[in-house]
Structure 1
Amino acid sequence: MAKVSISLDAELVVEVMVLAGIGNPQDAVETVVRDYIARGHRTEARTASRDESVRTGRLVPPEPEQG
């Protein structure tokens, strides 16, 4: 996979490291970005299943809330 180098505000990176509990800045930011992408995919999947039921007219039971 190709690598990209970017510059970020040091306070932002430190905040990410603290919140993620990861001591390496590269790993901490990569973890946060991967989590953000995974959440987006989960949201798309939920939205698609709801839209599918409206489109087909079939009722789909709601997914349990995660809390």
Structure 2
Amino acid sequence: MAKVNISLDAELVVEVMVLAGVGSPQDAVEAVVRDYIARGHRTETRTEFKDRSLRETDARPQEPQG
């Protein structure tokens, strides 16, 4: 896998390390990024299911009104 080098504020990285309970800055930031991606995938899955059920509801023929 390709690697990327970035600069981050030291206080930010230390806070991530504490919150993640990880001793390595690299591992802490990687854990946060992986969690962010996983959360995005979970959100996509939930909204896809909800959108699908809404589309199925809209697709049903409605009784005439009026």
With the shorter chain as reference, the TM-score category is 0.7 to 0.9
Following TM superposition, where does structure 1 have runs of at least 4 consecutive aligned residues deviating by more than 6 angstroms? Answer: none
Q: Map residues 13-52 of structure 1 onto 2, 5 A cutoff.
A: 13-52=13-52
- Identity over aligned pairs, percent: 79
Q: Write 1 or 2 for the structure with the bigger share of helix.
A: 2
- Under a length normalisation based on structure 2, what TM-score does the superposition of the two structures give? 0.84
- Under a length normalisation based on structure 1, what TM-score does the superposition of the two structures give? 0.83
Number of aligned positions between the proteins:
58
Q: Please give the root-mean-square deviation of Cα atoms over the aligned residues, in Å.
A: 1.2
Could you list the runs of 5+ residues in structure 2 that have no partner in the other structure?
58-66
Please name the residue that 2:5 is paired with: 5
